Amino acid sequence: MKKLLLLLFFIGSHFIYAQDISVKSKTSEIFKDNKKNTSLLFSESDGQGGFITIRQYVNSFTRAPKGYYIDHYDANLKQVNETEIEIDNNQIKGLMINNGAVFILETAHDKKADTFNFNILESSISSFEFQKRTLFSLNEDEVKKYFGIGIGVFFINNGFSQMDSNPFGEVTFSAKKNFFCVNFDIKDKESQTQRLYVFDKNFKPIFGREFKRDIKDKLFQYENIDVDDETGEIYLLGKVFENNSTRTKKKGKANYNYELHKITATDEKSVSFSPDENFIGSLFTVRGKNSISCAGFYSEKNDYRYKGVCRFNLDPETLAITQQSYMPFSEEFIKDKYGKVKDKELKNLSFKSAIINDKEDIVLNAEEFYVTTHTSSSMNGGMTTRSVYHFNDIVSVKISGAGELLWARNINKRQATSGGLMEYLSFSSTVLGDDTYLFINCSDKIRKISKDRIEFKQGNMKKANLYAIKIDNDGNYSFKNIVDDKASDVSFFVSQGIHTGIDGSEMVFIGRKKSKKQFLKLNIL
């Protein structure tokens, strides 16, 4: 009892424990599918308090995608409708709800015609009777494809530079889904080439352009695309390597620049900016009301270490750089992580999300992720090797529109699996107003670690508690158990949480225990 009181005193003195977190949860009835292994890909509000989801199911042995479940649940999480789409050389790339209709965006490979067709599957919300129409087609021999196969100890491929492309393309929506861009990587070894098609929410074509950068394909690393929600204009970010080499470091300096390209129906302009004396492993582009920003993590050592965060603000019309800053992690952040101040850079950060609010503050969320390999010998002289996937500390950082570090927090967390429980690990996040929310599965036994810090422990993921962690505008954080394992029949795939709307106030999760499945809807109040 004394230990419990001490822990509660410690928690109360450093955090606002649960009192300021208001999250409403609602679950569907338990159900079973014909296919055991499913994952949540897309979710959209139906406009009446319910939602429509798309789940992908896979082959239990090969884990290859086999088809999709489409579900409609009402505001009380009662199932209204369902249907199934089998995979036949096709991939679903997006979901839209507009004027009482459901639109599924799909790329299909027509082997007879040797084309990739970008299709819209349309149905009323009530019927789920989908009709298909094609928006455009590409010749198969134009599209870059990666091929790789393992034969014994040998691995054969057609070039690792092909791995950044999906032959079925990529779909990027604008902030409020008024526009979307379909992006195909085009086969061209001498130039970086991408075919871009922009449509409005009524599927009217706005423009189609071919982006071509006069540089060998392997020397251009595509980062991401952002679509302007008012005009449909595209901002394409790439990392361009120098000295005809993909080495990230040369003579002690970064061997690359970043390029941002603005692409419209009639024009294209670009700007190049360097990491100065630093190293930036990757950047992410987000569009605010008054600027286009590129944000990420930087290092003073190499591309794979992290000393702090950086932000570049650019004029959305001229692409002139209006502000840039490099902000090292704060002492509070380092103490969160290590228990004391250290002159030490982070490593193994996996970028998760970049979210911009109405004030043009940017929240970056990342996670310490790495894989360890363990080999052991058996009694009969054989060798066994297994890989362990580690999902550790969460890094959350908020940068002001002026490029100042508002706060940086390290959430101590330890999770690991040999592969069987991957969906239950990691986290999901959202931003609502000035507050950042993180959702994790963990044990209800919050562990006290050195220097008066706490750590969220893994526990039994098949019987896990779902916690909400809230970081307020001042960087203070609190946490609350919002789904207790004792009151739930399943554990939820916390890494697959999806927003159903544009304001970030509602998220949907899918959960499973053996053959039992259940949807969970969270509303932040």
Torsion sign across C-alpha atoms 203, 204, 206, 208: positive
* pLDDT above 70: percentage of residues in the chain: 92
pLDDT at 519: 98
Q: What is the DSSP letter of 423?
A: G
Residue 440 pLDDT more than 70? yes
Average pLDDT of the chain to the nearest whole number: 90
Beta carbons of 107 and 91 less than 8 angstroms apart: yes
pLDDT at 18: 54
Look up residue 136 and give its amino acid: F
Q: Which helix (H) or strand (E) holds 293?
A: strand 292-299
Weakest-pLDDT range from 224-228, 382-386, 519-523: 382-386
Confidence class of residue 6 from pLDDT cuts 50, 70 and 90? very low
Q: What is the pLDDT of residues 392-425, one digit of tens each?
A: 999 999 999 999 999 999 999 999 999 778 999 9
Confidence class of residue 383 from pLDDT cuts 50, 70 and 90? confident
pLDDT at 145: 66
Residues in the chain, how many? 525
Helix (H, G, I), strand (E, B) or coil at 14: helix
The larger pLDDT score, comparing residue 291 to residue 95, is at 95
Cβ neighbours of residue 436 closer than 8 Å, sequence gap 6 or more: 363, 365, 396, 398, 429, 430, 470, 471
Torsion of CA 241, 244, 248, 254, to 10 degrees: -70
Going by C-alpha positions, the residue among 432, 452, 430, 454 that lies closest to residue 442 is 454
Radius of gyration of the chain (CA): 24
Query: 278: which 2 tokens?
Result: 């630093």
* pLDDT above 90: percentage of residues in the chain: 75
The larger pLDDT score, comparing residue 107 to residue 3, is at 107
pLDDT at 85: 95
Q: What is the pLDDT of residues 154-209, one digit of tens each?
A: 333 334 344 355 789 999 999 999 999 999 999 988 899 999 999 999 999 999 99
Distance in angstroms (rounded) separating the CA atoms of residues 373 and 289:
46
Going by C-alpha positions, the residue among 480, 368, 373 that lies closest to residue 414 is 368
Residue 112 pLDDT more than 70? yes
Look up residue 301 and give its amino acid: K
Other Cβ atoms within 10 Å of 173 Cβ, number:
18
pLDDT at 9: 38
Q: What is the pLDDT of residues 13-70, one digit of tens each?
A: 344 455 589 999 999 999 999 988 899 999 999 999 999 999 999 887 777 889 999 9
**What residues are paired with 45 via a beta bridge?**
51
